[in-house]
Structure 1
Amino acid sequence: MSNATPLLEVKNLRSGYGRIPILQGLSLSVHPGERVGILGHNGMGKSTLLRTITSHLPTSDGKVSFEGKSITGASPTTIARSGIGYVPQGREIFPGLSVMDNLRVGCRLSKRPETDVLADILELFPRLKAYLDRRGGALSGGEQQLLALARCLCGDPRIVLLDEPTEGIQPSIIEEIADTLKAAAISRGLAILLVEQNLGFIAAVSERVLILQRGEITREVPPDAMHDIERLEAFAELA
């Protein structure tokens, strides 16, 4: 896989908030269908990375490429339409809209007929079938996260960027989210870039895990440590 052309490539990326630098020349790549996790303590730049890739924060230096083409500085809408899905921390569903209408909003990014997209999504997210007429804001936190993921996948992205998807969610739905993400990756060839602090979740979903420290990728977790939670925790503590 490493010899193939990356789907998403970040080179020497620098970004921050005003005059406060956060990303310090960060580089990484994600290949088609690959699931990559990023571990790091709060304040190390995990959310900043995803916000910069999607142009919700400006890039001060470096380059972001998708499918071999530069998207540095493109608008968030252009980036979304190119095939990059983004589920931010806090989910940001439309609480006043029904579950069905939330999903329909996501369908606007797909080139397929809405009925086909919704049928596929509800097969992947069966829990949502019972809530289609319910307001998004009336769902539990875990159900809202499932809705946010489903809405994102309605756009048929080639890669999904996920920011702390397990935050504040009950364990039973965390497991369901992990299973759903892996199923989507396999059935759709979906790539995933995941920032997360839940070690069990990141180990369950990811094929590779990178350590983010002070705005830079400092190391990659060895393959034999990927599913050893104690060793993974030791790597996380070093970040």
Structure 2
Amino acid sequence: MLDIKDIHSGYGDIRILRGINLSLSQGEFVGLWGHNGMGKSTLMRTILGYLTATAGSISFEGQDITGMATFRRAQLGIGLVPQGRAIFPHLSVLDNLRMGAVSFSQDRDETVSSVLKHFPRLNAYLDRPGGLLSGGEQQLLALARCLCGKPKLMLLDEPTEGIQPSIISEMVDTLHRIRESTGLTLLLVEQNQAFIGSLADRVLTMQKGVLVNESSTRDFLNNTHAFASA
């Protein structure tokens, strides 16, 4: 589904990504692990087009999207749940979800209702401003809003930051159910090793803008201390 070849990217003259090669198959959940400042979020932003690749190529479902506008990538089926959630705090939960389904004006309410079946906790808060939800509930809202855009590939950036354990467990169960029902593909950036281990089929480790290791989830969890010192 996603094929990244020798991607370089950064911010102005500051080069962050230094030759990233990465492929994801349809329906695969892949974890991307590493300490802060190693380039994980930069890779996410480059995949979605917020940052321009200075070298290399990105293909999505066989189509070269390297120079494609961000909104076109979203239309093709790439969705982002950003670090910090970035919900609309003054809009109601329902209106946040409707904003996520804005591309489907003909069946927007049907799309929202379909997504809400996976997020029963949110049904009690549909009229409440998003900013009044707890941090964990806001993260669930951000996930649900992204899914209202019907993504084929979801980019999920640091979703467990500051979130209570019960919500983390709920996110894991929800994402597994959604994969089973829709075939969703997931690229997960996370520092919570247990969370990666509960979701990912394999784990990539990034260090200083380079992917330095790929392992099965079992090996990743069994070698926690080795990876933590990377």
Q: Normalising by structure 1, report the TM-score.
A: 0.92
Find the counterpart in structure 2 of residue 211 from structure 1. 205
Which residue in the other structure is 1:64 paired with? 58
The residue type paired with residue 206 of structure 1 is: A
Q: Which consecutive unaligned segments of at least 5 residues does structure 2 have?
A: none
Instruction: Choose the corresponding residue for 2:227, options 202, 223, 236.
Output: 236
Q: Give the structure 2 partner of residue 133 of structure 1.
A: 127
Letter in 1 for 2:150: D
Aligned to 2:32: 38
Query: Please, which runs of 5 or more residues in structure 1 have no aligned partner?
Result: 1-6
Mapped partners of 1:160, 1:110: distance in 2? 18
Q: Tell me the residue number matched to 1:4.
A: none
Runs of 4 or more consecutive aligned structure 1 residues displaced over 4 Å after TM superposition: none
Could you tell me which residue of structure 2 aligns to residue 95 of structure 1? 89
Residues 50 and 115 of structure 1, relative CA distance in 2, 3 Å threshold: same
**Residues 132 and 72 of structure 1: is their aligned pair in 2 closer, same or farther, counting only changes over 3 Å?**
same
Contact 2:200 2:217 in 1 (8 A): no
Deviation at 1:222, TM superposition (A): 3.5
Query: How far is the alpha carbon of 1:109 from its aligned partner?
Result: 3.0
* Shift, 1:111, TM fit: 7.7
Verify the 8 A CA contact 1:109 1:154 in the aligned structure 2: no
Q: Is the 8 A contact 1:15 1:61 kept in 2?
A: yes
| CA displacement at 1:179 relative to structure 2 | 1.0
Deviation per CA, 1:97-126, whole angstroms, max 9, x where unpaired?
000000001112348712321221111000
Asked if residue 117 in structure 1 is aligned to residue 116 in structure 2, the reply is no
Residue 3 of structure 1: aligned partner: none
Q: In 2 relative to 1, CA 23–199 (structure 1 residues): closer, same or farther, beyond 3 Å?
A: same
Q: CA RMSD in A?
A: 1.4
Which of 73, 80, 91 is residue 74 of structure 2 equivalent to? 80
C-alpha deviation, 1:171, in angstroms? 0.9
Identity between Structure 1 and Structure 2 (%): 54
